[in-house]
Amino acid sequence: MEWCVSMPKIELHAHLNGSIRDSTLLELARGLGEKGVIVFSDVEHVIRKSDRTLHEVFKLFDLIHVITTDHKTVTRITKEVVEDFASENVVYLELRTTPKKNDSIGMSKRSYMEAVLEGLRAITAVDVDFVPRSMDVSSPVTTMNMDTFSGTARKKIYVRLLLSIDRRESTEAALETVKLALEMRDLGVVGIDLSGNPIVGQWDTFFPALEFAKEQGLQITLHCGEVPNKKEIQSMLGFLPHRIGHACCFEEEEWTKLKSSEIPVEICLTSNIRRFRTETISSIDIHHFVDLYNAKHPIVLCTDDSGVFSTTLSQEYRLAASAFGLGKREMFQLAKTAVEFIFADGGVKRNLEDIFFLAEKKLYV
Ligand code: 6MZ
């Protein structure tokens, strides 16, 4: 585990409100309980529970949103989530979140995202690079970058943002999110995610907004095949997103299509196993990681919701190592390959390649 922590890692599938520390969530819930907004004793066991069905996961998100959705709290959780990833040597984080509107507290999707940016600016424990430099100028690899993984110098983390469209949203609301992403490109927003309860909503509702986003040059990742839905999976693969998340419920035809299109897959082992225990993936031994890994299909290990599923990215690597017999070299290679699938520009890619190059020497020499 220590080795997995020390290795530099890339996180490409992390939902902000799913990655909150339990301690923070409990503290915030207790505060709201004292104010009479919620009954703390009714929610405490919901927060503390670790084994949840799909239905329970989305009920928990509704609760989390009640607890976290004000500007100050959004700023706080953003800061903490990034600090937590940096502390386990995640050197590049693509953090996704659903911009939320709440007229009663004067929150617009834009002001929600400004609160997220405020959280990034508030971080002092580590160096955070979240605003893209000019396309041509790549920042030089400094000692800080090089020593990030060794724990001997101040850590540095690159953070880029994805705006999520929730499957409960209308076409207009989805378009509003895409327009916001376009406005915020200079502030580190690199793409769009489609997520939310997979049994809610229709592909046709989101398609116009996603197509517009793609035309405008935003990068797209879709939650795809979280539940069996052949028609939707086929439409999503036909759309050719830049990455997909999960891919749990594919059939032969969809695997063939996925492999020929070489769309990278964000794999979230703990999330898939916990949630699907009673559903499609009954144990880790039959997880599609094995088939995709053996086929050399582009994959990246991710946490999904480190708070909700009580995991870390290092823990996901350790799990892959123990379940699938990966050695250190294979794990390092897996982490390093993820650089190819990031949505940030080439300058960031080159810096990350240098970080992995130097880490490789340190970890093996
Ligand atoms: C689908 C998920 C998800 O956006 O409020 N989300 N959507 N499948 C998953 N796998 C378990 N995990 C999280 O973060 C929480 C939101 O992310 C999506 C859901 O829409 C959830 O409400 P934000 O920061």
pLDDT for position 278: 47
pLDDT for position 362: 81
Substitution candidate for ligand 1 out of 12, 15, 101 with most atoms within 8 A of CB: 15
Rounded to two decimals, the pTM is 0.94
List all residues 6 or more positions away from 316 whose beta carbon is below 8 Å from its beta carbon: 268, 269, 270, 301, 302, 303
pLDDT for position 311: 93
User: Which amino acids are annotated catalytic?
Assistant: 226
pLDDT for position 43: 85
Nearest CA-CA partner of 29 in 80, 75, 67, 71: 67
User: Which residue is it, tokens 């503390």?
Assistant: 48
pLDDT for position 178: 98
**For the range 246-255, what are the long-range contacts, defined as Cβ-Cβ under 8 Å and sequence gap of 24 or more?**
246/272, 247/288, 248/272, 248/276, 248/280, 248/281, 248/288, 249/225, 249/280, 250/225, 250/288, 254/225, 254/230, 255/291
Compute, in angstroms, the gap from residue 355 CA to the centroid of ligand 1: 30
Compute, in angstroms, the gap from residue 259 CA to the centroid of ligand 1: 26
pLDDT for position 275: 64
- CATH code of the domain containing 359: 3.20.20.140
Q: pLDDT for 243-289, tens place per residue?
A: 999 999 999 999 999 999 999 999 999 998 876 554 556 677 778 99
Is residue 97 within 6 Å of ligand 1 at its C-beta? Answer: yes
pLDDT for position 221: 98
> Which regions in the chain score pLDDT beneath 50?
135-145, 148, 278, 365
Domain limits for position 46: 2-363
Smallest CA separation from ligand 1 atom 7, residue: 196
Q: What DSSP letter does each residue of 181-200 carry, written as one string?
A: HHHTGGGTEEEEEEES-TTS
- How many domains does the chain fold into? 1
